Chain A
Amino acid sequence: MTIDSASPKLTYANIDQTVLDTLRPATRPYWITVALLFLGVLLGAACWLYQIFIGIGVGGQNNPVAWGTYLINFVFWVGIAHSGTLISAILHLFRAGWRNPIARAAETMTVFAVCTAGLFPFIHLGRVWVVYYMLPFPNQRGLWPNFLSPLMFDVIAISTYLIVSSLFWYTGMLPDLATVRDRAGGFRKKIFTILSLGWTGEHEHWRHFSRTYLFFAALATPLVISVHSVVSWDFALGIVPGWHTTIFAPYFVAGAIHSGLAMVLTLMIPLRKIFHYEKIITLSVLENVAKTIVFTGLIVGFAYGTEYFMAWYSHNIVELETFRWRALGDYRIPFWIMVTCNTVIPLLFFFQKIRTTVFWLFGISIVVNIGMWFERFVIIIGSVAHDFIPHAWGLYRPTAVEFGIMLGSFCLFFFLFVLFVKHLPSVSMTEIKETVSAGENHAG
């Protein structure tokens, strides 16, 4: 597959030019945006500090719903983090050329989303100041973490994923960093000289680079599957009806990719518009993402159906009640938001007209993001709110502090991303050039 509109005008030089243009000194609106986002981050941080000093009670969690938006946001951001690696690693292995223009931004999204997600377990903890108890450090009391706990799986899975995806991201950026170095001057040149690790573009460098990138891709591919599987086990290994099911790993992975692809669209469409990437990130690239969203949306919808089938098939009255209540009970609105946004609305992408219109692509991507947030709400809140002991049933509602922290997390993510697009090449020049040259060799 090649980029159809890339052939006539795209040359190595104007690829470089388009990408390097994005790194020009920023304008005032840009810095205002950065400042506003930073304020949002500060707001979230202030909320967190307040919570640390006063107690977790400033959130809305209670008995029975001891996990609230912090865990929802954790799973949400981990989910977002998925598509980056899926696009850069799996599609790389499958030689899907359309992934090249968006791979860099998607990978960046992954790294920042993992960082954001990684904060939430800390925010969630009752006593974050003793979080180091989870580390297997030698101590005279001989205390060790419990490796049977899914939360320990999480620690390992998320930190592995963060390390691998960061290295993958950085490695892929090396030739581009060198390009920037070559065109930069002054202080920037010094920084990029260090960052580009002495890349000269000689043959040996390219040989090692392509090997490394391939191996990283191969290494990262199982992680795409494993990380969200592990996250799903936080729930599936519990005995709570609505959590305790074997479908959770594939269900969560599909959901993660679903949300991640939607987030890719959400990020790419403004990026493409603002930085005039239309020729590089073409409509057909976006269209391919939309097609994949249809696919993942169908998987997610199938998973919803399967859960209901299993509840019915089990004849277990507790399961039956959980799923009846999920659709008809106190949290029916989040449930129907979830179903509509994740499985029904993405089906509109079956129409070519819709999946090639930027407005619809952007709008539906937002809708899917919302739907996926509510999916986590339905699972995490809805299941424990209505589990085994009817006397203990109870409802949960997030508080202002939780919304503050949630806003802070979104601001943090976009803050990092906005900084990134102005300071590092947001499109991989190297890979676009590969595509262009591949186009010349094979299609031209």
Chain B
Amino acid sequence: MYRRTFLKIAGLGSVAVAAGCSEPEKTLYSLVQAPDDMVTGKPSWYASTCRECPAGCGILAKNREGRVVKIEGNPQHPINRGKICMRGQAALQGIYNPDRLKTPLLKENNQWRKLSFAEAQRLLKEKAAAASQKGRGRIGMITEMAGANLLSLLSQALKSWGSPPPLVFEPFAYESLKAANHRVLGVDGLPSYRMEQADFLLSFGADFLETWLSPVEYGIKFKQMHSVKDGRKNLFYHVGPYQSLTGANADVWLPCNPGSEAALAMSLVHESMLRGKGAGLSEELQKIVAATALPFTGESAAQLAGISIEQYRLLLDRVTASRRPLILGTGSGSASKNSLQTNMAANLLNLVLNPDLELFDFNNRHSIEIADSRESVLKFFNAVDAGGIDLLLLNNVNPVFALPPRHQIDMILQKDALFVVSFSSFLDETTQSADLILPTRLPLETWDAYSGKLEIISMLQPAMGRLTDAPHLGDVFLNIASSINAPIPPESSYKEYLYSSFIEKRLAKSASDWVLALRAGGYFEASSRGESVRPKFAKSLSDDFKNLSPPAETGLTFIAAPSLRFYDGRGANRPWLCEIPDSLTQIAWQTPVRMHPQTLKQFGLRQEDIVHIQSRWGSLEAPVYETHSVKPGVLVMEIGQGHANYGRYAQGAGVDPCRILPDDPNAPDGGPLLAVSPVAIKATGRRLKLAHLDGSRFQHGRRIAQAIALKDLTTGPSRAKPGVTLEDFPLTLPIPEGYDPKRDIYPPHDHDTYRWSMVVDLDKCIGCNACAAACYAENNLGVVGLEQVRRGREMSWIRVERYLDANHPDKTLFLPMLCQHCDNAPCESVCPVYAPHHSNEGLNNQIYNRCIGTRFCSQNCPYKVRRFNWYAWEFPSPLNLQLNPDVTARSKGVMEKCSFCVQRIKFAHGVAKDEGRPIRDGEVQPACLQACPTGALTFGNLMDPRSRVRKLAADPRAYQVLGYLNTKPAVIYLKKVLPEI
């Protein structure tokens, strides 16, 4: 017998034995005829649009063997230019959510009964017909932000039933900004900002790196504006009562009293006009502005805001000295009674400083401007309460959670006379109160078009097969409406409806145009449709500023801030978003209330104490987090958690801060108030252990996250003689040049052709954690849950460490920490079985099959980036369908860590080999780098002297974390640059 034959037989025998022991596979698919775009082992990419927030970023969805496994930004998309935030990454966990509803449910005697989709649609049809026969306006609809085509279909259908068009409800609808634009600029809407062209940025609370308008877009633009160029760095001032992530990225954060922003901004208008600014405005306008700003002197405003006059003067100097300043108003989180005035004042300041408003783009506005105001939503519900309608249709909105509890939306929805149909796929608070749940397809499964900005049309197409039989919302309406005699074109499906409307509007001239648009992701040419909008200035302004509410001088102010992770709460059922900690507090799975140490001392509280917060409108209990990132007397809590229903990950986690906010909208603009004052707090005597990931908030002098003053950078390197200590150890590249016989016993590694390396520019890192989310998605990382995070067992391969300045604890440095792929790796030498293995391309590979779990590598890793599988982590079905087939899923008992996305390197090798060339610089993009909105990460081959990483490694800012251990890390950091204030 030949050896091979023997092995085959032996192999078969052992397979038979193994198969006998294990549970048999239930289904086995064999694709006799695979679809054209499905080749086993090869991904197909479908261009689509992210619908996790109204910004509308373009995405590419990676499909492997029929299922979406990863979402990346669409590089051609003008909004996000190939980048995507953590919420966008987590869209996958919406479609694969284990708590997603698979069938329609009908409420009978407070029990849910399963229906088929056909039955549910029939029921809906009956109800619609009955309601429309009763009279006009008997059907109401509230929808989330949707594309123009879908909205027009919904409106058409409702119109045919004699009902008004649907209400577009978004919890963050920028009412005050819209009103301010209307009053000051005469523009009804939300112009976008050419932030990248500014040379100075001042924000009165706009949190444009988290949720404000279009966070990825402004994250990109912000760093274009705010990075070192030719020895200069533009400044960013943030004025507000608390630091959002945006505030933490400011060069200067001026903590002002809540509600004083408007006066402060107006005083800047006043003072800069005194300095001769605003000369470019028409005389009439100058007069109006000057008259409005007259009462606001610098000194009084600074006093009102609680900032020192020196700081104020410095700000004024900066504002007046810059050529192209951009002033942003408040964000949703600092929405106080004066937010309209703040936004107006910001607009006025922009006008005065830059009369041409060249940083405003009035044509390419943010489409969320069509969202209805909070006031109209509440009015609508009042009408519903009064019995105005019989049938209420809800498309993916959660007003029960988003609106203050005193409106009792759930009670309104549960009225017997009202039949409520929810098209949501999740059993959230609102859906729970519905009578019929008819789940519709989620964005990654649908045909649609959506415009995040008015000049863009971004396409959606199904990126995967269907997991449920849920119909498209458009199909539901086409189906129902056509059978009730609606004047709707007789298309059989929403896709055809969409296509024909594109043909009709001459967007697509032919089917091939349409396909090209689908492939590209949409129509991105900035061909301005409609005439260009020019601002029309107001005639009088001072009325608004006369009734400026004074900031609360005594008492505490409570602020509910929009969350980077959960947005308005819709992300709370995505395990990745819960597991990845909040950037500023480093707390996962929980929402604490942030308080200043002074406030804590005043009330005899400590961190982790559960505090009872009482406002006029309600009360809540939440754990305390001590931080200098809020002004004394201010309590900040992020919106998003505290769901009563919303699936296993959201339920019972955290507290909803909105429940103590004022019930009524802010009168002048109709927007919600997210700040409330005064509130009373008292200790409950109970404590809650916070799941914080940081062991210490400070660096303890260890030069981990480093910064350099701009002037030191421009004077050039004053390199002291290299030594061997923390302070003077030289940069030692993980290539033969980095070895010095005086220091190194062992010879360098032989790397053939490639030595992979990453450069992390701390000056560009904004701490948004998009990298971490991308890594969770790409590398099949386990989600461990609250209790295990508390025990320090989170599995993140890349974490954004947050360090506070020991002398100024309100100053933050972010440092992405991942495996450093050391050339002299401490983990490699201590493993008894060579499970950590140094590859010939310099990667520190972890061989999972070889690992026996001694954990010595982790103990000896100075960077503590290794992660152990303490248990077999669960991916509750169908979350397991998201697992990347290119990456091994690890079993319990083995160590794992960042691999520099070795699967992507291998893929690039395959492509390069097919084309007979070496891998190009920039061809390999690890998942973290791919997602990073600001381009803080660079990856490449250090052996190539022309590679970008090699050039960046020669930057005077380059250093290695703990380089003095002579580990020769392949991750090289560039120091953050601190401009002169």
Q: List A residues at the B interface (Cβ < 8 Å).
A: 54-57, 60-67, 124-128, 130-131, 133-134, 143-146, 148-152, 155, 234, 237-240, 316-318, 321, 384, 386-395
B830 touches A126 (CB 8 A): no
B870 touches A127 (CB 8 A): no
Taken together as a complex, chains A and B put the C-alpha atoms of A234 and B859 apart, in Å, by 11
B850 touches A61 (CB 8 A): no
Q: A125-B854, A238-B856 are in contact. List 8 more A-B contacts (CB 8 A).
A: A57-B892, A63-B864, A143-B850, A146-B831, A149-B856, A391-B802, A392-B863, A395-B792
**Interface residue B945 (Cβ < 8 Å from any Cβ of A):** no
The chain A residue sitting closest to B834, CB to CB, is A146
**A133-B852, A393-B695 known; A126+B868 contact, CB < 8 A:** yes
Least CB distance, A331 to chain B, in whole angstroms:
13
Which B residues lie within 8 Å of A386 (CB)? 695
The chain B residue sitting closest to A238, CB to CB, is B860
Interface SS majority for chain A: loop
Which B residues lie within 8 Å of A395 (CB)? 792
* Number of chain B interface residues as a range: 35 or more
**Interface residue B853 (Cβ < 8 Å from any Cβ of A):** yes
Which B residues lie within 8 Å of A125 (CB)? 852-854, 893
Least CB distance, B569 to chain A, in whole angstroms:
29
**A55-B871, A130-B852, A133-B850 known; A388+B834 contact, CB < 8 A:** no
A127 touches B829 (CB 8 A): no
Taken together as a complex, chains A and B put the C-alpha atoms of A195 and B74 apart, in Å, by 79
Within 8 A of A (CB), among B662-720: 693-696, 698-702, 704
The chain B residue sitting closest to A65, CB to CB, is B792
B869 touches A126 (CB 8 A): yes
The chain B residue sitting closest to A56, CB to CB, is B870
**A63-B864, A126-B893, A384-B859 known; A317+B701 contact, CB < 8 A:** yes
Which A residues lie within 8 Å of B894 (CB)? 126-127
Q: When the two chains form the complex, which single residue of A62, A127, A321, A394 contacts B852, counting CB atoms closer than 8 Å?
A: A127
Q: When the two chains form the complex, which single residue of B792, B793, B829, B832 contacts A155, counting CB atoms closer than 8 Å?
A: B832
B848-867 vs A: 1/0 string, CB under 8 Å? Answer: 00111111101110111011
Which B residues lie within 8 Å of A384 (CB)? 859
Taken together as a complex, chains A and B put the C-alpha atoms of A126 and B862 apart, in Å, by 21
B893 touches A63 (CB 8 A): no
Taken together as a complex, chains A and B put the C-alpha atoms of A61 and B853 apart, in Å, by 12
A150 touches B801 (CB 8 A): no
Which A residues lie within 8 Å of B808 (CB)? none
The chain B residue sitting closest to A399, CB to CB, is B791
Q: List B residues at the A interface (Cβ < 8 Å).
A: 693-696, 698-702, 704, 725-726, 788, 791-794, 799, 801-803, 817, 826, 829-834, 850-856, 858-860, 862-864, 866-872, 891-895, 962, 965
Least CB distance, A150 to chain B, in whole angstroms:
6
Least CB distance, B66 to chain A, in whole angstroms:
32
Which B residues lie within 8 Å of A238 (CB)? 826, 830, 856, 859-860
Q: When the two chains form the complex, which single residue of B693, B794, B860 contacts A240, counting CB atoms closer than 8 Å?
A: B860
- Between A56, A316, A389, the greatest number of chain B beta carbons within 10 A of the residue's beta carbon is seen for A389
A126 touches B696 (CB 8 A): no
Taken together as a complex, chains A and B put the C-alpha atoms of A140 and B864 apart, in Å, by 34
B893 touches A127 (CB 8 A): yes
Q: When the two chains form the complex, which single residue of B695, B702, B801 contacts A317, counting CB atoms closer than 8 Å?
A: B702
A389 touches B862 (CB 8 A): yes
Which A residues lie within 8 Å of B699 (CB)? 390
Q: When the two chains form the complex, which single residue of A54, A65, A143, A151 contacts B854, counting CB atoms closer than 8 Å?
A: A151
B851 touches A127 (CB 8 A): yes
Which A residues lie within 8 Å of B863 (CB)? 388-389, 392
Least CB distance, B583 to chain A, in whole angstroms:
13
Which A residues lie within 8 Å of B832 (CB)? 133-134, 145-146, 149, 151-152, 155
Which 7 A-B pairs rank lowest in CB-CB distance, beginning with the nearest? A126-B853, A393-B695, A57-B870, A126-B893, A62-B792, A392-B864, A390-B696
- Between B794, B817, B856, the greatest number of chain A beta carbons within 10 A of the residue's beta carbon is seen for B856
Which B residues lie within 8 Å of A64 (CB)? 695, 792, 858-859, 864
Q: List 11 A-B contacts (CB under 8 A).
A: A56-B892, A125-B893, A126-B852, A127-B892, A131-B852, A151-B856, A237-B830, A240-B860, A388-B863, A388-B864, A391-B799
Which A residues lie within 8 Å of B794 (CB)? 63
A55 touches B892 (CB 8 A): yes
B862 touches A388 (CB 8 A): yes
Which A residues lie within 8 Å of B726 (CB)? 316-318
The chain A residue sitting closest to B849, CB to CB, is A130
B855 touches A66 (CB 8 A): yes
Taken together as a complex, chains A and B put the C-alpha atoms of A125 and B852 apart, in Å, by 6
The chain A residue sitting closest to B891, CB to CB, is A127
Q: When the two chains form the complex, which single residue of B856, B858, B864 contacts A389, counting CB atoms closer than 8 Å?
A: B864
Which A residues lie within 8 Å of B962 (CB)? 388-389
The chain A residue sitting closest to B586, CB to CB, is A391
Q: When the two chains form the complex, which single residue of A131, A149, A389 contacts B704, counting CB atoms closer than 8 Å?
A: A389
The chain A residue sitting closest to B870, CB to CB, is A57
Which B residues lie within 8 Å of A131 (CB)? 852
Taken together as a complex, chains A and B put the C-alpha atoms of A318 and B855 apart, in Å, by 22
Which B residues lie within 8 Å of A149 (CB)? 829-832, 856
Q: When the two chains form the complex, which single residue of B704, B801, B855 contacts A61, counting CB atoms closer than 8 Å?
A: B855
Least CB distance, A100 to chain B, in whole angstroms:
40
Which B residues lie within 8 Å of A317 (CB)? 700-702, 726
Least CB distance, B367 to chain A, in whole angstroms:
40
B704 touches A390 (CB 8 A): yes
Which B residues lie within 8 Å of A391 (CB)? 693-696, 704, 799, 801-803, 817
A56 touches B830 (CB 8 A): no
Which A residues lie within 8 Å of B695 (CB)? 64, 386, 389-394
Which B residues lie within 8 Å of A57 (CB)? 788, 793, 870-871, 892
Taken together as a complex, chains A and B put the C-alpha atoms of A55 and B853 apart, in Å, by 11
A394 touches B859 (CB 8 A): no
Which B residues lie within 8 Å of A388 (CB)? 702, 862-864, 962, 965
Which B residues lie within 8 Å of A389 (CB)? 695, 702, 704, 801, 817, 862-864, 962
Taken together as a complex, chains A and B put the C-alpha atoms of A151 and B830 apart, in Å, by 7
- Between B693, B694, B700, B802, the greatest number of chain A beta carbons within 10 A of the residue's beta carbon is seen for B700
Taken together as a complex, chains A and B put the C-alpha atoms of A56 and B868 apart, in Å, by 9
Least CB distance, B709 to chain A, in whole angstroms:
22
Q: When the two chains form the complex, which single residue of B702, B802, B868 contacts A318, counting CB atoms closer than 8 Å?
A: B702
Taken together as a complex, chains A and B put the C-alpha atoms of A150 and B830 apart, in Å, by 6
Taken together as a complex, chains A and B put the C-alpha atoms of A7 and B400 apart, in Å, by 95
Least CB distance, B52 to chain A, in whole angstroms:
28
